[in-house]
Amino acid sequence: MTSQHIPPEWAFEFHGHRCPFMPIGYRMGKLAMEYLGVEHEKDHGFFVFPEIGEGHPQTCMVDGIQIATGATYGKVLIAKTFYGKLAATFYHPQKGAMRYSLTPDFIDEMGKYEFFVYRKKGVEPSQIPQPVTEEVINWVYEQSDDFMFKIEPKPDFKFTPAKGSFNKAKCSICGEYVFERYLRMKDGKPVCIPCSGFTKSMPGA
Ligand SMILES: [Zn+2]
Ligand SMILES: [Zn+2]
């Protein structure tokens, strides 16, 4: 069966450019929702674990997944596993878990499009001639779900989200509020992670 699940125009605006991977993630999300019988997530009840890593160019999928499902980074409903694979597990505590991955045949066929000649030369998607981009996007829309995706139920999949808490305290050094689970103790006083001298390399550190 083929269900194109074409993203709405605002999805491309939100994403920033036209490319094939945002629509692929969108379709993956829509199919997983249909399979599990869940609606676009309003609150905090549907989780997605993309296996995407960083430093490879297909990460745009994750925006499509968020747009389709409502499982967003802002709601802490999505977390990458950093396996570096084009797959994601969709999990609803009452409805179960399904893993969707792109088939190697689909990835190989898509890779033949001119879009990727530009990408491999380092040309950003917004700078690629529009007909070249539309060609690969339209090809993706025409492919069957079976050709694109391997689908696996994950009956043993378990995930327990962090328990929500509004408890917070002020860091004894910088005076800024810190939510409880992130407070550290230094010389017997509560401190935030940066003031604790913790030195994991972080952006801006
Ligand atoms: Zn993109
Ligand atoms: Zn501090």
On whether both 79 and 123 belong to a single domain, the answer is yes
Q: Are 148 and 155 in contact (CB under 8 A)?
A: no
On whether both 115 and 167 belong to a single domain, the answer is no
On whether both 176 and 85 belong to a single domain, the answer is no
Share of the chain above pLDDT 90, in %: 85
User: What residues make up the domain containing 176?
Assistant: 163-200
What are 69-108's pLDDT values in tens digits? Answer: 999 999 999 999 999 999 999 999 999 999 999 999 999 9
Task: Tell me how far apart the alpha carbons of residues 50 and 42 are, in angstroms, rounded to a whole number.
Answer: 20
Answer yes or no: is pLDDT of 125 > 80.
yes
Task: Tell me how far apart the alpha carbons of residues 50 and 80 are, in angstroms, rounded to a whole number.
Answer: 5
Q: Tell me the sheet residues that pair with 5.
A: none
Residues 6+ apart with CB under 8 A from 24: 61, 64, 102, 140, 148
On whether both 36 and 109 belong to a single domain, the answer is yes
How many domains does the chain divide into?
2
Render 16-46 in DSSP notation, one character per residue. SS--SHHHHHHHHHHHHHHHHT-PSPSSS--
Q: Which ligand is nearest to the CA of 182?
A: 2
On whether both 107 and 139 belong to a single domain, the answer is yes
Answer yes or no: is pLDDT of 202 > 90.
no
Whether residue 194 lies inside any domain: the answer is yes
What are 164-175's pLDDT values in tens digits? Answer: 888 999 999 999
On whether both 82 and 180 belong to a single domain, the answer is no
Answer yes or no: is pLDDT of 57 > 80.
no
CA–centroid distance, 146 to ligand 1, in Å, is: 23
Q: Which ligand is nearest to the CA of 60?
A: 1
Answer yes or no: is pLDDT of 55 > 90.
no
CA–centroid distance, 201 to ligand 1, in Å, is: 27
Q: Which ligand is nearest to the CA of 63?
A: 1
The predicted structure's pLDDT at residue 2? 67
On whether both 89 and 173 belong to a single domain, the answer is no
Task: Tell me how far apart the alpha carbons of residues 125 and 127 are, in angstroms, rounded to a whole number.
Answer: 5
The predicted structure's pLDDT at residue 205? 45
On whether both 46 and 81 belong to a single domain, the answer is yes
